[in-house]
Every structure is written in C-alpha cells, then in structure tokens.
Amino acid sequence: MVVEDDEDLLVAVSAELRAAGLDVVAVADLAGAARVPPPLACAVFDRMLPDGDAITHVHQRRQEGWAVPVLFLTARDTLADRVDGFAHGGDDYLVKPFAPGELTARVLALCRRAGAGRPSILRHADLEVDCARREVRRGGVLLTLSGKEFAVLEYLAARPEQAVPRADLLEHCWDAEADPMANVVDVVVRRLRRKLREPELIHTVRGVGYRLAAS
C-alpha cells in the first residue's frame, strides 16, 4: 500500500513498485488507508496527509495490533523527525527527494521481512516461482523472463486454479496510465506461454481472463 497525496508522485511510486513485481494499492489519505483490507506485505506513508500526520495513524494502529511493516516517505528530514517516525511504529524512513531504486530495494526488504503473507517460493505442477530471487523454473530449468512477464506469472501463481480477470492483471502489473483497452496483457501472456512450453499452464477463461492450472 502506498499512501501519498501528491498525485504525480503517487502514480510514479506505484509504477516503480509494480515494475518490481509488487501488487500496489494506491490511496491519497489516511481514511483510504484505513479501508484497505488485509493482507498487506508493506505500507509506504507520506507523513503530512490531508487528514493528519501518518505517524499518529500508524501509532494508533500499532496499539491495535497492526503488524504490517511501514516505511515513512517524507520531506521531513531532521534527526528528530526520523526518531519520531521510528518511535511511532515505523520500520524504515526515507527522505524526499529519493532515488526510485533505493525506495524499491527498501520496500522489497520490508516485504521479505513480512513474508508477504505467502511462501517466498510458489509451486504449481512443475512450475516454481521464486519471489525473493525473482527466478522462474519449469521442470527444474531456469527461464529468462522480462519484468512484466515475471509480474504476470507471479500474480497468477499466487492464485492457482482461479480465474483472474484481465483488469486485475492490468491494475496490478502495469502503471496507472496503461490503456485498459489495449491488449498488453494478452501479448505478455502469449510470450509467457511460449517460454513456459508444453504442457500448457496458463489457460484462457473466455470473457474473463486467465487461469494458472496444470490442465
């Protein structure tokens, strides 16, 4: 989850994290953050939001037993600000302006710490998706996938046997500016099928999207 009231920054950060293969829920205020259902692997909060200081929000949720790792992403850069962030339940603190690569690395580290609510290695039939190493093997053979191919396959592998709508794949594996009418999902799935080889693992669910299944 990314909580940021600057719309341009929210779009940019969300796109950066999606490009790293993460599912991202983007919200603009604390009220929106409170409505996001579990499970969450990590939460990134701007501090000064339209409805309050995020450290107060996080501190209150920590008292209620909320255990999601939190990174504060903020322009407040004094030592006192950093200490305050950690004291109120933050697990990491990154000051704006920041390097996108550093943000991604820190978020991935927090997600690994949380376990992401699922195994770090997803297995289905003879397919193995290593989420931590970002590696995929089929029948023990290491495959070379692009970032988008890995993101789509990981999303499907986390939901085996389920019909996953194209809209869900577009939302979670592409940035917010992706054209919902474009066939980018179908193109990536075609490439994945070719790389995964036979027998087919990704099946078309007519009128819906795709399903990962051994048959």
Asked if the model's pLDDT at residue 81 lies above 70, the reply is yes
Spell out the CATH class of 121-212: mainly alpha
Distance of CA 16 to CAs 23, 94, 101, 108, 156, Å? 11, 15, 8, 12, 20
pTM of the shown model: 0.56
pLDDT tens-digit profile of 133-184?
Answer: 788 999 999 999 988 899 899 889 888 888 988 888 887 787 655 565 668 8
Label the pairing between strands 2-3 and 43-45: parallel
Start-end ranges of CATH 3.40.50.2300 in the chain? 2-117
Percent of the chain topping pLDDT 70: 93
**What's the confidence (pLDDT) of residue 191?**
95
Length of the chain: 215
Least confident residue range of 24-28, 64-68, 135-139? 64-68
Contact call for residues 132 and 122 (beta carbons, < 8 A): no
CA distance 103 to 48: 18
pLDDT tens-digit profile of 83-118?
Answer: 999 999 999 999 999 998 899 989 988 887 765 445
- CATH label, 2-117, candidates 3.40.50.150, 3.30.479.10, 3.40.50.2300, 3.40.640.10: 3.40.50.2300
Of 118, 102, 105, 101, nearest to 40 by C-alpha is: 118
Start-end ranges of CATH 1.10.10.10 in the chain? 121-212
**What's the confidence (pLDDT) of residue 120?**
67
